[in-house]
Amino acid sequence: MLNSFEIKSAQLPLVSLLLKSAEWEQVNREVLQQYGPGGENADFFDQDALVLDFSKLDGPISRHAVETLLSTLAACRLKPVAFRGCHPSD
């Protein structure tokens, strides 16, 4: 009998960022304007877990775009924990 782990269901607070545009500069600018330091709601998040949802976008997503977005989200006190709607080749 194995006793080294246990899988249990859990309900965790989580928010999702549904990306509607691949205009990455605009997305980053608008997220920072709303939730970044000095933004309209700068203290809204407190290291909240976040799912990045790319399911509404067509085409490949560049690594650079994702890295820049991750930096933007960190500045907004968000912690991306999962991706949705993108493929390993993206």
Write the DSSP string, 17-61.
Answer: EE-----HHHHHHHHHHHHSTTSTTTTS-SSEEEEEE-TT--S--
Q: Identify the pLDDT of residue 79.
A: 97
Element (H, E) at 81: strand 78-84
Q: Identify the pLDDT of residue 1.
A: 66
pLDDT above 60 (res 90): no
Instruction: State mean pLDDT over 52-64.
Output: 92
Whole-number average pLDDT of the chain: 93
Q: Is the pTM of this model over 0.75?
A: yes
What backbone torsions phi and psi does residue 11 show, to the nearest 5 degrees?
Answer: -115, 115
Q: Identify the pLDDT of residue 12.
A: 86
pLDDT above 70 (res 23): yes
Note whether 35 and 44 are within 8 A (CB). Answer: yes
Q: Identify the pLDDT of residue 38.
A: 93
